[in-house]
Structure 1
Amino acid sequence: MTNLPDLPATVHYEQRGAVAIIRLNRPDLRNAADSATSHAVHHALNHAEADDSIGAIILTGTGDRAFCSGMDLKEAGRVGAGTGLVPGAGFLGITERNCPKPLIAAVNGAAVAGGMEAALACDLVVASQDAVFGLPEIKRGMVAFAGGVQRIARALPRQKAFEIIFSGAYYGAAEFQALGLVNRVVPQDRVLDEALALADEILANSWHCLRLAKQLHQVARDGTLQQAIDWGHEHGAALMNSADSREGIAAYNQGRAAGFSNGTAI
Structure 2
Amino acid sequence: MELNLPESVVYEKRGPIAIITMNRSEAMNSLTKEMLIGLEAAFDDFEADPALHVAIFTGAGERAFCTGLDLKVALPALNDGDAMGYEDPAKRPFQRNFKPIITAVNGVCVAGGLEFMLGTDIRIAAEHAKFGLAEVRWAVVPAGGSHIRLPQQVPWAIAMEMLLTGNTIDAKRAYEVGLINKVVPADKLMDEALAYAQRICENGPLAVRTAKEIAVRALNNEPAFVLEKTMSARVFASDDAQEGPRAFAEKRKPVYTGR
| Alpha-carbon distance in structure 2 between the residues aligned to 1:218 and 1:8 | 29
Query: Identical aligned pairs, as a percentage?
Result: 35
**Number of aligned positions between the proteins:** 218
Match of 2:210 in 1: 212
Could you say what secondary structure the match of 2:12 adopts? strand
**Corresponding residue number in structure 2 for 1:237:** none
Calculate the TM-score normalised by the size of structure 1: 0.77
- Between stretches 208-217 and 61-70, larger displacement belongs to 208-217
- Which residue of 24, 31, 37 maps to 1:26? 24
Q: Quick one: structure 1 residues 20 and 88, their matched pair in 2 at CA, closer, same or farther if it must change by over 3 Å?
A: farther
Render the CA deviation track for 1:168-222: whole Å, top value 9, x for unaligned: 1111111111111101111111111211110001110101100111122234444
Please state how far the C-alpha of 1:85 moved relative to its aligned partner. 2.4
**Greater than 4 Å deviation, 4+ residue runs:** none
Equivalent residue number for residue 183 of structure 1: 181
Equivalent residue for 1:64, pick from 62, 67, 81? 62
Q: Distance in 2 between matches of 1:188 and 1:94?
A: 29
Matched ranges for 1:53-132 at <5 A: 53-80=51-78, 84-88=84-88, 95=93, 97-132=95-130
Matched, 1:41 2:39: yes
Alpha-carbon distance in structure 2 between the residues aligned to 1:196 and 1:121: 19
Q: Report the CA distance shift for 1:87/1:193 in structure 2 as closer, same or farther (over 3 A).
A: farther
Distance in 2 of aligned mates of 1:216 and 1:83 = 30
Q: Deviations over 1:21-80 (max 9, x none)?
A: 110010111000110000000000111111111000111100001111001111122222
Letter in 2 for 1:21: I
How far apart in 1 are the matches of 2:27 and 2:143? 22
Aligned ranges for residues 148-227 of structure 1 at < 5 Å?
Answer: 148-222=146-220
Which amino acid in the other structure matches residue 140 of structure 2? M
The reply on whether 1:146 has 2:144 as its aligned counterpart is yes
Aligned partners of 1:191, 1:97: CA distance in 2, in Å?
A: 25
- Give the letter for the 1:191 counterpart: L
**Aligned counterpart, 1:261:** none
Name the stretch that deviates more: 139-148 or 54-63: 139-148
Aligned-partner Cα distance in 1 for 2:143–2:92: 13
SS at 1:43 equivalent: helix
CA RMSD of aligned residues (A): 1.9
SS of structure 1 residue aligned to 2:102: strand
2:77, 2:84 within 8 Å by CA — same for their partners in 1?
A: no
Q: Distance in 1 between matches of 2:98 and 2:158?
A: 30
Instruction: Confirm or deny: 8 A CA contact 1:88 1:96 kept in the other structure.
Output: no
**Can you list the C-alpha shifts for 1:131-164, whole angstroms capped at 9, x where unaligned?**
0000011111111121112111212332221111
Compute the displacement of 1:109 (Å): 0.7
- CA separation of 1:42 and 1:94: change in aligned 2, threshold 3 A: farther
Question: Which structure would you say has the larger Rg?
Answer: 1
1:101-127 deviation digits (Å, cap 9, x = unpaired) = 001111111110000010111011011
Residues 220/160 of structure 1: CA separation in 2 closer, same or farther (3 Å cut) = same
1:160–1:205 CA distance, 2 compared to 1 (3 A):
same
- CA distance, structure 2, for counterparts of residue 219 and residue 7 of structure 1: 29
TM-score, normalisation: structure 2: 0.79
Gaps of 5+ in 1: 224-266
Deviates more, 1:73-82 or 1:159-168: 73-82
After superposition, the Cα gap between the structure-2 partners of 1:103 and 1:140, relative to the gap in structure 1 and judged at 3 Å, is: same
